[in-house]
Chains A and B, each alone.
Chain A
């Protein structure tokens, strides 16, 4: 039952992501994405292989329905899915990770969760902005885009984190 709720939440967030990409184009310097936070909030009991598949499918779906460059989001999201386990091991002790099956603010604490999600977000934005620019944009532009997008996405990631935490705490 819980898995169904997770799945539903995932789908809703992907639809929201598509709306954000399609209708909310504030600036060339801003890349708004919920996906890195969503991937980081996948329950820990799901293995890395499952997370990789989810990352690939979500990235493809977002690019496909938004009419963007196919494969771009997946290329940036897959490293986040691969490194997710290592990021959590870096931010949390072994006991916390072995006890916790789902990402929860109550069980794991907001500061450390935000640090781990922000690391995943940074990896995603670095790869996404680099490949999206394809050597045609200046370093200054890419850096500005990274920082502005990072700030905006961290705020959205916090909201996403609380949504998944609510599911986990049910």
Chain B
């Protein structure tokens, strides 16, 4: 291909790409069906590549993940033993009935394909969809806390709002019997949250555990979230409490999707 025909070919290609993009943009803005279809196709293509990249990253962090999973297994085993002994005691006393929960909790394990952390409105993509039993508006948790809420579901992919999103506010409780507070991501860091606009008469000690309150439509009560740290005064009128989360979002690999029906 000589120089002239090469430049002519490049010019034609550039014009084609520009006009095709313009036509696709017009198509996307003038038709909801095509727009939805484009978005679905682009998400499927993107999640295919994210999934591949995540597999590579997971391969190189297997040892660390195994350690985390082993710790979680141990904690769960301890809880199971504790509940079984509690159930035994209650059954002996004839008080079994109150242990039967009146809520239905459906759980689906999933793997994180993508969890963004670089903006103020982060989102999460997992490898399960409606064919795997995932429903929109389900909570995403791990053994270390709340991760997000499912917002959109594809066949084998689900997209969710991450806890690391400025629009995500979680109803939490300080201590087992303490006050109900709104917990949200601090805006920086991958394991930092904050309780804002606390009244000054509420004194929060550092080291208190923060739990889900149970007043949310997405998460059951008593999921541990983090530990309170320092309290600071805001504009002299309210206080702000920093919380160190148990879940570090920078190493989020395996999650559980909960469909919590009250």
Chain A interfacial positions (CB closer than 8 Å to B): 47-49, 52-53, 55-56, 59-60, 69-72, 74-75, 78-79, 81-82, 131, 134-136
Q: Which residues of A contact B76 (CB under 8 A)?
A: none
Chain B interfacial positions (CB closer than 8 Å to A): 8, 11-13, 15-16, 19-20, 22-31, 33-34, 36-37, 40-41
Q: Which of B25, B27, B29 sits near A72, CB closer than 8 Å?
A: B27
17 A-B contacts (beta carbon < 8 Å): A47-B8, A49-B15, A52-B16, A56-B19, A56-B23, A60-B23, A70-B26, A70-B31, A71-B27, A71-B28, A72-B27, A72-B34, A75-B20, A78-B20, A79-B20, A134-B31, A134-B37
Q: Which of A53, A69, A70, A72 sits near B19, CB closer than 8 Å?
A: A53
The CA-CA distance from A14 to B167 in the complex, in Å, is 50
Q: Which residues of B contact A52 (CB under 8 A)?
A: 12, 15-16, 19
Chain B's closest residue to A85 (CB) is: B12
Q: Which residues of B contact A81 (CB under 8 A)?
A: 16
- Report yes or no: B34 in contact with A134, Cβ–Cβ below 8 A: yes
The CA-CA distance from A30 to B33 in the complex, in Å, is 20
Given A56-B23, A135-B41, 10 additional A-B pairs, CB 8 A: A70-B30, A70-B31, A71-B23, A72-B34, A74-B22, A75-B20, A75-B23, A75-B24, A78-B19, A134-B37
Q: Which residues of A contact B23 (CB under 8 A)?
A: 56, 59-60, 71, 74-75, 78
Q: Which residues of B contact A79 (CB under 8 A)?
A: 16, 20
- Report yes or no: A74 in contact with B37, Cβ–Cβ below 8 A: no
Given contacts A53-B19, A74-B19, contact A48 B12 (CB under 8 A): yes
Given contacts A53-B19, A56-B19, A134-B33, contact A71 B24 (CB under 8 A): yes
The CA-CA distance from A60 to B26 in the complex, in Å, is 9
Task: Name the distance in Å between B42's Cβ and chain A's nearest Cβ.
Answer: 13
Q: Which residues of A contact B13 (CB under 8 A)?
A: 82
Most chain B beta carbons < 10 A, residue from A53, A56, A134: A134
The CA-CA distance from A49 to B13 in the complex, in Å, is 9
Task: Name the distance in Å between B130's Cβ and chain A's nearest Cβ.
Answer: 16
Q: Which residues of A contact B40 (CB under 8 A)?
A: 135
- Report yes or no: A71 in contact with B26, Cβ–Cβ below 8 A: yes
Main secondary structure of the interface of B (DSSP, over half): helix
The CA-CA distance from A75 to B41 in the complex, in Å, is 17
Chain A's closest residue to B12 (CB) is: A48
The 9 closest A-B CB pairs, nearest first, are A71-B26, A71-B27, A74-B23, A134-B37, A48-B12, A70-B30, A75-B23, A71-B23, A69-B31
Given contacts A56-B19, A69-B27, contact A82 B34 (CB under 8 A): no
The CA-CA distance from A52 to B8 in the complex, in Å, is 13
- Report yes or no: A131 in contact with B27, Cβ–Cβ below 8 A: yes
Q: Which residues of A contact B29 (CB under 8 A)?
A: 70
- Report yes or no: A53 in contact with B15, Cβ–Cβ below 8 A: yes
- Report yes or no: B30 in contact with A71, Cβ–Cβ below 8 A: yes
Chain A's closest residue to B38 (CB) is: A134
Q: Which residues of A contact B20 (CB under 8 A)?
A: 75, 78-79
Task: Name the distance in Å between B19's Cβ and chain A's nearest Cβ.
Answer: 5
Q: Which residues of B contact A78 (CB under 8 A)?
A: 16, 19-20, 23
The CA-CA distance from A28 to B23 in the complex, in Å, is 24
Q: Which residues of B contact A49 (CB under 8 A)?
A: 11-12, 15
- Report yes or no: B12 in contact with A74, Cβ–Cβ below 8 A: no
Given contacts A47-B8, A78-B23, A134-B37, contact A69 B16 (CB under 8 A): no
